[in-house]
Structure 1
Amino acid sequence: MHRSAPRLTRILACAAVPVMLVAAGCSSDDPGSGASPSPSASAAGGASAAPATTAAPAPSVAPAKFAKLPDACKAVTAKTVEDLVPEVKTKSGTPGKSSDMTSRGSCSWNGLEDKGVKGSDYRWLDVSLLRFDSDPTLGGGEKRAQDKYTDKVAEAKAAEGAIDVRTSSAPGIGNEARAVSYSLKKTGETFRYGVIVVRTENVVITVSYNGTGYAGAEAPAAGELMEGTVKAVKDAVAAVAAANK
C-alpha cells in the first residue's frame, strides 16, 4: 500500500505533460518558436511595405529661342520710314498700347505729301510684333507662333471690304512668310494695301503698308506697295534677332 501511492503520483504527472506542452505551444508568442504569423498580420505587413505612388512628371518642351522683343517703334529703321512715308508726322512713330512689352508691341507712322496741283500722296505704315514663350500646358513657343502665324494670314486675307485680294509666298524672310495685297474703298478713295505676315522662330511679325492719292493724285501701284512692305518687314526680322544677341 505504501509503494502504490508514489507510483500513482508519477503516472498522473507524466500524463499531464502532453497537455501542458500543447497548451504552451498554442499560446506562445515567441517568434523563435516556429509559429506561423496569422494571415491578417501578413497582410498588414505587406501593406505597410508597399511603395508610395508618385505623380507623373509634367511634359517638357524646348525653350523658346527669342526671349525679348525690340522696341516696335525702332524695329523699322528711320531710313526705311523716311523712304516709305514721305512727310511723316511723327518720325519716332506712334506706339500701340501693350501690357507686356516683352510679348507684344506695335507702332505706326503716317504722312501726307502735298504735291500742289498734282494732288497729295497719303501713306500709312504699321508693324506688329508677337512673341510666344514655351509652356508645358500650351506647347513650345515655336509651335504656338506657327498657330498664330496661320491665324494672322487668314485675318489679312479676310479684311473687311477688301477687293482684288491676292496672296503669294514671300521667300527669304524668316522661317515662313506670306504676302497679301488688296484694295479697299474708304473716305471716297481707293486705298491699296500690302501686308506681309512672317514667323521668325517664336515671333510673329505683321507689317501693313497702305496708301492712296488725293485731289487728283493716283493711288500707289500694288507692286510698289509690296516692295515697301518687304523692306520694312526685313528690318523688323533683323531687329528681333539683334534684340536677342
Structure 2
Amino acid sequence: MQLRAQRDQREKRERRAAGRTRLLVCAAVVPAVLVAAGCSSDSGSDDAKDKAAKESAASESASPSPTVQAAAYGKLPEPCSVLAKKSLKDLVPKADSGKEGGSNDTATRAGCSWDSLDDNGVDGSQFRWLSVSMLRFESDATRGAGDKLAHDNFQKQLQDAQATKDAKSLKTEQVEGTGDEASVVRYELKKKEGTFKQQTVVARVENVVVTLDYNGAGLAGEKAPDADDMVKDAQKAAKEAVAAVTKANGPAEGGGGASSGSPAPSDAGSESASASASKSS
C-alpha cells in the first residue's frame, strides 16, 4: 500500500511538472506571435499610406489646369489705314504718308504716325503731329483674361500721359461712345519753337488698347491752334481707329481670336504723350 501511494504521488508530481513545461512553452510562443502580428500590422499601414499618396498624386495630375475666357479679338488692322483719307486731310493736311512703327509682331503691337508742316513763309507755319498705336492682349491662364490685361494697360497709358513733365493746364476727361472705355488727357507744353497743344486719347475695346496722340503748334509767329478744336478732332479720330479694330475682327473673327493660356506681351505699352510731344519738337 505504501509503495502504491508513493507511486501515485510521483505520477502526480510528473504530471504537474509536465503542465508547467507546457505553460512555459506557450508563454514563449505568445510574444513571438504578437511581434509577428505587430510587424504585419505596421507593414499593412505603410502600404496603405503609400497607396493613398499615389492615388492623391494621380488625382492632382488628372485635375484640369485653370482656364480663362478666350480673348475676343485675334488681330489688329493695318495701322496706317485705320483713319480715312479725309480724316488725315483734316488732321495732318500736309502729310504725304504715314510712317509705320517697327514691330516684331504686328498682330499684337502696331502703330503709325504722320507729321504735317504748313509753311506760310514770313507769316509762320502750322505744325501737326498724329500718332495711333494699338496693343492687343491675349488671355493667359496665369495673368488673366485679355480684356482685363487691356484694362490694366489702359489705366497705365492714362497715368503716363498725366505724368508728362512740364505739362501745363492738364485736364483729363472721359470720352463717350468710343470702345468699352476711353478718356482724353489734354495739356500745353512750352518748347523753344512755341507752345504745343497736346491731346492724348486712350481707348479700350475688348482686349485691344488704342492710344491716339495729336499735337500742334503755331510756329514762327503763327497763331496757336485752338485747343478745343484739337480735342474734338482727336476724339473723332480715336473713335474711327477703334471702329477699325472692331471691323478687322468682324463677327466671324470675334469671340475667340486668341486661345486661353497663350502668353501675353511682356512689355505692353505704347509711346507716352511726353514722347510724342518731344517728337514734335
Q: TM-score range by the shorter chain?
A: 0.7 to 0.9
The 5 A counterparts of 1:45-84 are: 46-47=48-49, 49-50=51-52, 51-53=55-57, 54-55=60-61, 57-84=64-91
Distance of 1:81 and 1:118 partners within structure 2: 24
Distance of 1:234 and 1:42 partners within structure 2: 72
1:175 alignment partner in structure 2:
180
Matched, 1:187 2:192: yes
Question: What's the CA shift for 1:49?
Answer: 4.4
Q: Which amino acid aligns with 2:240?
A: D
For residues 136-158 of structure 1, what are the alpha-carbon distances to aligned partners after superposition, in whole Å with 9 as ceiling and x for unaligned?
Answer: 11111111111110110011111
Q: How many residues align?
A: 214
2:94 alignment partner in structure 1:
87
Matched, 1:223 2:220: no
Distance of 1:223 and 1:156 partners within structure 2: 18
The 5 A counterparts of 1:110-125 are: 110-125=115-130
User: Retained in 1: the 8 A contact 2:193–2:220?
Assistant: no
Question: What's the CA shift for 1:52?
Answer: 4.1
Change (3 A) 1:48 1:163: closer
Identity of aligned residues (%): 41
Distance of 2:43 and 2:217 partners within structure 1: 91
Matched, 1:199 2:204: yes
Q: Secondary structure at the residue paired with 1:243?
A: helix
Q: Secondary structure at the residue paired with 1:242?
A: helix
2:247 alignment partner in structure 1:
242
For structure 2, which runs of at least 5 residues remain unmatched after alignment? 1-21, 23-28, 30-36, 251-281
For residue 113 of structure 2, the aligned residue among 108, 116, 134 is 108
Q: Structure 1-normalised TM-score? A: 0.80
Higher helix share: 2
User: Retained in 1: the 8 A contact 2:193–2:219?
Assistant: no
For residue 42 of structure 1, the aligned residue among 44, 55, 59 is 44
- Aligned-pair Cα RMSD in Å: 2.4
Q: Structure 2-normalised TM-score? A: 0.70
Question: What's the CA shift for 1:71?
Answer: 1.4
Q: Which amino acid aligns with 1:83?
A: D
For structure 1, which runs of at least 5 residues remain unmatched after alignment? 1-18, 20-25, 27-34
Distance of 1:87 and 1:188 partners within structure 2: 19
Matched, 1:138 2:143: yes
Question: What's the CA shift for 1:179?
Answer: 0.8
Q: Secondary structure at the residue paired with 1:38?
A: helix
